[in-house]
Amino acid sequence: MQSFGPYLLGFVAIGVALFGLNTARKLFRQVDAVEVDNEKVADIGQQIQDGAMAFLRAEYRVLSVFVVVVAGLLVVATASWQTPVAFLLGAISSVAAGFAGMRAATTANTRTAMAANRSGAGAALLVAYNGGAVMGLCVGGLGLLGIAVMYMVWGHSLDSVQYISGFGMGASSIALFARVGGGIYTKAADVGADLVGKIEAGIPEDDPRNPGVIADNVGDNVGDVAGMGADIFESFVGSIIASIVLGATITASTSGLMFPEGHILTSADRATLMALPVLLALVGFGSSMVGIASMNWLKNSEPAGALRNTTLIGAGLFWVLSFIVLGIFGFPFEPLYAVIVGSIVGILIGLATEYYTSTDKVLGVQTKAVQRIADASKTGPATNAITGLAVGMESVFLPLILITIGIYWSNHAAGLYGIAMAAMGMLATVGVTMTVDAYGPVADNAGGISEMGGLGEDTRKITDSLDSIGNTTAAIGKGFAIGSAALTALALFAAYSSEINRIRLLNNSTEGPLSLELTEPLVVIGLLIGGALPFLVAAMTMTSVGKAAGQMVEEIRRQFREIPGLLEGDPNAKPDSARCVEISTTAALREMILPGLIAVIAPVICGVVLGPAALGGLLAGATATGVLMALFMATAGGAWDNAKKAIEQGKIEGEKKGTDAHSAAVIGDTIGDPFKDTSGPSLNILIKLMSIVALVIVPMIA
């Protein structure tokens, strides 16, 4: 092993990141150049974009207060200016990625609809994909840029490496608020619009008469694009930071096969381990760009395959290039085994969750879960709900086992460092996986716009087909998101524990190394409290959706009642969509505060009052139940949704749209809405944010 020049590596990474961001700019121009020559489409698109950007601005205004206050507190808590500065940079990068992606997505949605209308499926696919790619390249590029800067300034030196955790904390904070706020926004609008529109008034989804439809379409962008982008940005930088901190702190006994037992790690060893994550992120981002570019050649092949192939090209290239680069520069190979273990486990988790949420065969095995829910709908909403909840609870087991297998083998290869590397394996090609993820809501939105803009049956058919591909291809992305959240949280937790010991050693503390023995009552107390936090946050976010949806229902009912001719379709009667957008915005901003604060404050209080051992327990407990609850809620929600779709598509014998079983399935789907789009995804971020807050406050509590 040899040390690698940190500045050279940093500058190369910055260069590649900037190249990627410039590509994003070019792709955006390309998308923007597609002409929108339908006035109605342009108008609707403008309303959606205005609503979405207005929400983002309002959200970031609220968060700027939070960010400034927390930065101030960090000055006190860490007795440094570096951590707060890193925190601010992390937050700003996440915000920038969110803005850019949102702008692109709300530009690409109308263009996709127009391309489908004018030039057919291939052109529409390319526009939607490139819209997603702007988000993917921004998330990957800004992540790599931030990490490279952090690495060059503080992250390559053992004396200052602790400051970079601030960057992760900034990204995680924004991510949690964006996920919770976006999730509340989108589901309040969705549930509200559906309850009055589809069920009470009996008008179709996305009908322009419904005042909640614009808010619903804004919500898709706010929740799925901005929320998910912040989420993945945070995962990406979180896994890299965990790797770097672990590289700086692990001992030979926790490094798996990498170092022989008893070896004392030299500073050259540590420099290698701290450089490796940056190098892999760089290679991963480069490979992603190739994957994204390959869409230009694949666009006319079968669309689902094209989407999948861009991901596979990116991932395959990443593996091959990593082997070559690591070999050339004399890095150890064990971490790469962990990376590969992580990728494989991520793919398998994706397949496992797909097994529970799909009506089709998965790897040749006929799935049954959705069928069970659809069958249970025949005896009413209660049995539908019971079965959906049971399916969700059951579905946690297989992914959990896969995660533990991932932990086992990545730890075998490279110890605790390997666990962080396994998470990196799922996230290194974030540029292309994020592209595919962001493609989904663009295609979904394009469908809604075609419907509202009256672009006709043929266009709608194309956008529907583009939309349905997105759902299938997202499975792998989902597996990566869940698996990487669990592994990143564990890696951060390990980093927290190593960092406590390192600081104690540095300060010649009289306290011995931190004991996180499960027989210590304080550890158990922390474990139990930590375990309860995901339940509390899930409850709060579900309650918020319920409250906000209730307000939305009342407003839509009022408009149908008070605006003459609206429900009858009088062309002069215009719904007051702006009012609905405002309700969702206000509710989301108000309701996101408390869950976000809990995530930041709980570790601090626990660490200060009960000490670092209890905080360690808290993190472990929160990670365990957080992963379980996130899986439970996401899968149950997805399965309910698809059970309803299965009935609508005539896949369930004797049932179709409008039967009692279908009504029961619609109820199940509505229960699942906050499960899968608000509470579930929030928990993935919650556990990482708590871990990184703990890591940041180590100087205060060690």
Q: Which of residues 394-413 bind a second copy (CB under 8 A)?
A: 394, 396-397, 400-401, 403-404, 407-408, 411
The span from the CA of 461 to the CA of 116, in Å, is 9
Strand partners of residue 362? 365
Pair of tokens at residue 574: 């215009």
How far is C-alpha 77 from the chain's CA centre?
A: 29
Nearer to a second copy, 360 or 517 (CB): 517
> Which part of the chain contacts a second copy (CB under 8 A), choosing from 25-33, 35-43, 620-628, 643-651?
620-628
> Which part of the chain contacts a second copy (CB under 8 A), choosing from 31-39, 443-451, 512-520, 578-586?
512-520
659 binds a second copy (CB under 8 A): no
649 binds a second copy (CB under 8 A): no
Among 96, 532, 578, 597, binds a second copy (CB under 8 A): 532
- Strand, helix or coil at 423? helix
205 binds a second copy (CB under 8 A): no
The nearest distance, CB 649 to a second copy, in angstroms, is 21
The nearest distance, CB 628 to a second copy, in angstroms, is 6
Among 550, 578, 593, 659, binds a second copy (CB under 8 A): 550
376 binds a second copy (CB under 8 A): yes
505 binds a second copy (CB under 8 A): no
201 binds a second copy (CB under 8 A): no
Largest pairwise CA distance in the chain: 81
Q: Return the residues of window 181-200 that contact a second copy according to CB under 8 A.
A: 191, 195, 199
107 binds a second copy (CB under 8 A): no
- Measured in degrees and rounded to the nearest 5, phi and psi for residue 51 equal -60, -45
Among 385, 600, 604, 634, binds a second copy (CB under 8 A): 385
Nearer to a second copy, 120 or 546 (CB): 546
Among 113, 313, 352, 391, binds a second copy (CB under 8 A): 391
Contact predicate 642/359, CB 8 Å: yes
- Measured in degrees and rounded to the nearest 5, phi and psi for residue 357 equal -125, 5
- Structural element, H or E, at residue 362: strand 361-362
For residue 456, CA distances in Å to 114, 459, 462, 649 come to 11, 6, 11, 21
Q: Return the residues of window 429-488 that contact a second copy according to CB under 8 A.
A: 486
Nearer to a second copy, 59 or 591 (CB): 591
CA angle 338, 132, 96 (to 5 degrees): 85
How many other CB atoms are there within 10 angstroms of residue 179's CB atom?
Answer: 31
Among 239, 357, 670, 684, binds a second copy (CB under 8 A): 670
Nearer to a second copy, 86 or 385 (CB): 385
337 binds a second copy (CB under 8 A): no
393 binds a second copy (CB under 8 A): yes
The nearest distance, CB 65 to a second copy, in angstroms, is 27
> Which part of the chain contacts a second copy (CB under 8 A), choosing from 81-89, 134-142, 537-545, 569-577?
537-545
106 binds a second copy (CB under 8 A): no
Pair of tokens at residue 346: 């991520």
> Which part of the chain contacts a second copy (CB under 8 A), choosing from 17-25, 323-331, 463-471, 670-678?
670-678
The span from the CA of 397 to the CA of 392, in Å, is 10
581 binds a second copy (CB under 8 A): no
494 binds a second copy (CB under 8 A): yes
126 binds a second copy (CB under 8 A): no
Residue closest to 475 by CA, chosen among 314, 637, 315, 638: 638
Nearer to a second copy, 75 or 608 (CB): 608
Which residues, 6 or more positions from 125, have their beta carbon under 8 angstroms from its beta carbon? Answer: 299, 303, 306, 466
Q: Return the residues of window 7-26 that contact a second copy according to CB under 8 A.
A: none
546 binds a second copy (CB under 8 A): yes
253 binds a second copy (CB under 8 A): no
667 binds a second copy (CB under 8 A): yes
- Strand, helix or coil at 2? coil
Which residues, 6 or more positions from 185, have their beta carbon under 8 angstroms from its beta carbon? Answer: 55, 218, 219, 222, 223, 584, 585, 587, 588
How many other CB atoms are there within 10 angstroms of residue 122's CB atom?
Answer: 17
535 binds a second copy (CB under 8 A): yes
- Strand, helix or coil at 657? coil
Q: How many residues in the shown chain lie near a second copy by CB under 8 A?
A: 75
The span from the CA of 316 to the CA of 336, in Å, is 13
The nearest distance, CB 257 to a second copy, in angstroms, is 13
- Strand, helix or coil at 361? strand
Among 302, 458, 517, 570, binds a second copy (CB under 8 A): 517
For residue 435, CA distances in Å to 106, 175, 180, 185, 325 come to 15, 18, 22, 23, 25
How many other CB atoms are there within 10 angstroms of residue 573's CB atom?
Answer: 14
The nearest distance, CB 668 to a second copy, in angstroms, is 8
246 binds a second copy (CB under 8 A): no
The span from the CA of 383 to the CA of 375, in Å, is 9
309 binds a second copy (CB under 8 A): no
500 binds a second copy (CB under 8 A): no
426 binds a second copy (CB under 8 A): no
Nearer to a second copy, 521 or 564 (CB): 521
608 binds a second copy (CB under 8 A): no
The nearest distance, CB 392 to a second copy, in angstroms, is 8
For residue 135, CA distances in Å to 97, 131, 349, 567 come to 7, 7, 24, 38
Pair of tokens at residue 43: 């108008």
419 binds a second copy (CB under 8 A): yes
The span from the CA of 392 to the CA of 626, in Å, is 14
Q: Return the residues of window 586-605 that contact a second copy according to CB under 8 A.
A: none
The span from the CA of 338 to the CA of 343, in Å, is 9
